């Protein structure tokens, strides 16, 4: 990403110089740097509030209760994970953060969930089906309340910053359905099943028995 930003800045400077607008490019860079800092500071309050709520929920045992409540869904999505494994609770916290549109807060929770999932992995360089499914859910998560975007819209003076909720829910739901379907279907491909070190043996030959 560093190279991408460097290329964008260099191209902007070159185009500005060619068109005789180099001063305008410099002025815009300074002005929008200030805008970026202003928006970031405005997000601190809402991020701190929801992170605090999630921490209270974790310490109060609400996460464990929710983990038990979603056990049937978790069993369908992650059949390889034991019901009481710590990864279930960590993944749930990540999913809730994404539901609230707190993508920045969801990132460390997602990394922690991946570390927990790695404890069930027989390979160091191959993702398990559960890891793939969790990544799909994390990337295309349903967003019920896009708080980050709402906060940015409000900060920039939107007349109705909440009007994007319905479209966000619809779009993210479609994305989640597509991601889960793809993860479930692709793991059944023969090539992927054969290369998966975490698969269960399916034939007497694979189990080490006699093919008689």
Q: Is the pLDDT at 167 greater than 80, yes or no?
A: yes
Q: Is the pLDDT at 157 greater than 90, yes or no?
A: no
Looking at the whole model, is its pTM more than 0.75? no
C-alpha pair distances (Å), 33 with each of 23, 68, 70, 167, 201: 16, 46, 43, 30, 56
CB 78 within 8 A of CB 133: yes
Q: Is the pLDDT at 41 greater than 70, yes or no?
A: yes
Helix axes 22-59, 62-69, angle to 10 degrees: 90
What are the backbone dihedrals phi and psi of residue 129, each rounded to the nearest 5 degrees, phi first?
-60, -35
pLDDT tens-digit profile of 168-187? 899 999 999 999 999 888 88
Can you tell me the distance from the alpha carbon of 44 to that of 94, in angstroms, rounded to the nearest whole number? 19
Q: Is the pLDDT at 135 greater than 80, yes or no?
A: yes
| C-beta neighbour count of 100 within 10 angstroms | 20
Can you tell me the distance from the alpha carbon of 87 to that of 185, in angstroms, rounded to the nearest whole number? 23
Q: Is the pLDDT at 205 greater than 50, yes or no?
A: no
pLDDT tens-digit profile of 47-98? 677 677 777 877 887 767 777 777 788 888 888 888 778 888 888 888 887 8
Q: Is the pLDDT at 36 greater than 50, yes or no?
A: yes
CB 142 within 8 A of CB 172: yes
DSSP 211: -
CB 172 within 8 A of CB 141: yes
Can you tell me the distance from the alpha carbon of 163 to that of 183, in angstroms, rounded to the nearest whole number? 32
Share of the chain above pLDDT 90, in %: 8
Q: What is the pLDDT of residue 179?
A: 92
CB 199 within 8 A of CB 193: yes
Maximum Cα–Cα distance for the chain, whole Å?
82
CB 149 within 8 A of CB 101: yes
Share of the chain above pLDDT 70, in %: 86
């Amino acid at each position: 990403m560093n190279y991408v930003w460097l290329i964008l800045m260099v191209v902007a400077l070159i185009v500005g110089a060619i068109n005789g607008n180099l001063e305008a490019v410099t002025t815009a860079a300074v002005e929008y740097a200030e805008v970026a800092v202003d928006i970031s500071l405005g997000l601190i309050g809402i991020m701190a509030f929801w992170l605090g709520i999630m921490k209270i929920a974790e310490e109060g045992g609400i996460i464990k209760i929710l983990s038990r409540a979603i056990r049937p869904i978790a069993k369908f999505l992650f059949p390889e994970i034991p019901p009481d494994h710590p990864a279930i609770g960590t993944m749930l916290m990540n999913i809730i953060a994404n539901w609230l549109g707190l993508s920045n807060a969801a990132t460390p929770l997602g990394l922690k969930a991946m570390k927990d999932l790695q404890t069930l992995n027989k390979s160091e360089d191959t993702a398990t089906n559960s890891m793939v499914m969790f990544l799909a859910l994390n990337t295309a998560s349903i967003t019920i309340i896009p708080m980050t975007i709402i906060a940015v819209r409000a900060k920039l003076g939107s007349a109705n910053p909440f009007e994007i909720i319905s479209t966000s829910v619809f779009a993210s739901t479609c994305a989640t359905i597509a991601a889960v379907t793809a993860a479930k279907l692709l793991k059944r491909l023969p090539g992927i099943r054969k290369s998966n070190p975490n698969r269960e043996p399916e034939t007497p030959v694979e189990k080490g028995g006699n093919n008689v």
